[in-house]
Copies of this chain bind each other. A is one copy, B any other.
C-alpha cells in the first residue's frame, strides 16, 4: 500500500491550514465504523458490482471498447459515474483493509474503463459510435464533464492507494482533451452538474500539471453567466463570487462549493472564500436539517428558502449529505475551525449514514425526517448516485480522525484506533481508547518515538455541554465548539483524557422552521434520534408528546444485530380512536384523550431496518 492514500491532498496547498493524513495510517478497532468497513468489502462493494453488471453499467464500457455489440445500460443519465464512484470506493477501501478479491474486481473494472477510451482520449459510454457527434453539445443536461470528474477522482484514488498509473494516465489524456476543447476563447461553457472542479484540482495535485488547476478555475468562472441556461437549479444564475445563498440542486451546489474550496486552497483567492463563508452561514444557519440532510424540496432536488425544512417531504438526498461532508472537510482543511467539523459530524452520523441499510446493501435516496411507513430501502436506483457515493464515503472516515498543521496535530473525530503519524520527521503514534459516539470518554495515548514539541488540538464538539481535558494529571479548560490546544513537549508515556459530557438532550429548532414550531428532537452526542413504531407499542409515534421536564434515559439496545444506545423518555400518547373521521376538531372535544406513556428513541441512521411503520425525528411537547 502506498503511503499517500490521502483524501483531498492539501499537503502542498499554500492556502490550507491543515493537511489530511493517509487513510492507511489509521487502524480502526471500534465497533461503530470498523464493522461497516468490513461489510463494505464483504457485502456492499460485491453487491453493487453485481448490480452494475446486471444493469449493464459495466457492459456500457465493454460496448464502448467494442468488446460487445450492445448494452442495455446506455442512458443519458450518468451510469458511468456510478462505476467510477465504485472504483473510488474500492480504492479507498483497500487503503483501510487490503482485500485481494476487491482488488481484483477493481482492477478488472479499471481495465474495462481504460479499454473504452476513444483514440482522442474521450471517455463516456453514451457518446460513442453514432453519438460521437453529439459530444459536448448539451452540457447542461448530459453529465459529460460530471462523469469525467468522477473518473478523475477514481483515478486519483486508484493511483494514491495502489501506486499504479494505468487509470491515471488514461485520465490525464482525457483531461488534456477537455483542456483542448474548453477554456476562454475555446468552448466557454461548463457542466450542468458541478463535480469536475474538485476533481481537476485533485488531478493537478496528483500530477503537478497546472493546466488542470487553470481548467478548474475556468469551469468555476464560466458559470453564472447564463451560458448553460442561467437557472438557479444548476448554479448558473449568478457568478460564483456573488453567491450569498446556497440554492438550487443540493448536490450540485455543494459539489461546486467543494470545488471552489479546493481552488481556494491552491490560489488563496479571497473572493472565493468570502462567497463560501456566506453560503456556509446560510446553509448551517438556515437550510440544513438537524440530521445534516440537505435539500428540502422534491422539485429540483433542491434547497428551499431560508428555514424551509419540511420533515415528511424532506428530500435530503443521501448524496447531498455526503456532498456536505466533502465540502465541510475542505473548509475545515482551509480554515481549521471546529464549526466545519461540527457540520461534517452532523451529516456523517445521521443524514449520510441513514442512506445505507444496516445490511450493507439497501439504500435510501431520499431521507425524510418523518414517515408513515411508506419509505423503504431499495437495493439500487435507476439513478444510482447514492449507493456508490456512500460506499466511497465510508472508507474516507478513518482519514477524518486527524489532520496535521505546521504546529502539530488536530484530533477531529474519536474512535477506538491506532494512528501512525509523524511530526517534523518524528514518528508519533496515537492510540485512542473510547466507545465514541456512544460514550464521551476518550483516552488518547500520545507515543512519539522521541520527545517532540507540538500542539495537540482536541476537538470539543459543539453538542457537548461540558468537557474537561486532562493531560497526565493536569486539567485544562475546554470550551465546546472549539479545539482545545495543548502545546508541550510530548513524551512517550503521555496520556490525554478527554471527557465529553454526553447527556441525552432535547433539541429545539429555530422558530422560523414552521413545521418544527413547538417541537423537540432528541440528540445524544453527535447522534440524532428518532422514534420508530416498532419500538413503541403504546402509541403511534406521530402522536407522542414528549415530557421535556422529565429525564431521558440512555440504554443499550440491538437493532438488526447492531448494538446502539437507545433512549427512553416519558410522554403522552394521543388517543387516535377519536380521530376516525375528522381532520379538524375543536380543542374542547379532544383535550382529554391523552395518556402517559414511555417512548423509545433510536439513532436516526438506524431507522427502516426492521418492520415498516411510522417514524419521526421531531416530537411535540407534552
Contact = CB atoms under 8 A, between A and B. Distances in A.
Interface of A: 281, 284-286, 288, 290, 298-299, 304-308, 310-313, 370, 372, 374, 463, 465, 505-515, 517-521, 523, 540, 542-543, 545, 548, 574, 576, 579, 581-588, 590, 616, 618-621
Given A374-B305, A505-B588, A284 B583 contact: yes
Given A511-B579, A517-B619, 15 more contacts: A281-B581, A284-B583, A285-B581, A310-B310, A313-B313, A463-B586, A506-B586, A506-B587, A506-B588, A507-B585, A508-B584, A509-B584, A511-B574, A514-B542, A518-B545
Given A311-B515, A515-B515, A508 B545 contact: no
Contact of A313 (B290, B308, B542, B586): B308
Number of copies of this chain that the complex holds: 2
Contacts of A284: 583
A508 B587 contact: yes
A511 B584 contact: no
Contacts of A621: 518
B587 A548 contact: yes
Nearest to A616: B514
Contacts of A548: 587
19 contacts: A298-B299, A305-B374, A306-B372, A310-B310, A310-B515, A370-B514, A372-B512, A505-B588, A507-B584, A510-B583, A510-B584, A511-B574, A511-B576, A512-B540, A514-B515, A517-B542, A517-B620, A518-B519, A518-B620
A281 B580 CA distance: 11
A285 to B, nearest CB: 6
Nearest to A339: B581
Given A517-B519, A518-B620, A621-B518, A542 B511 contact: yes
Contact of A514 (B311, B513, B584, B588): B311
A542 B586 contact: no
Nearest to A521: B584
Contact of A299 (B299, B507, B590, B618): B299
Contact of A508 (B506, B521, B585): B585
Given A508-B590, A511-B543, A514-B616, A584 B290 contact: yes
Contacts of A543: 511
Nearest to A522: B587
A454 to B, nearest CB: 32
Contacts of A523: 586
Given A310-B310, A545-B518, A579 B299 contact: no
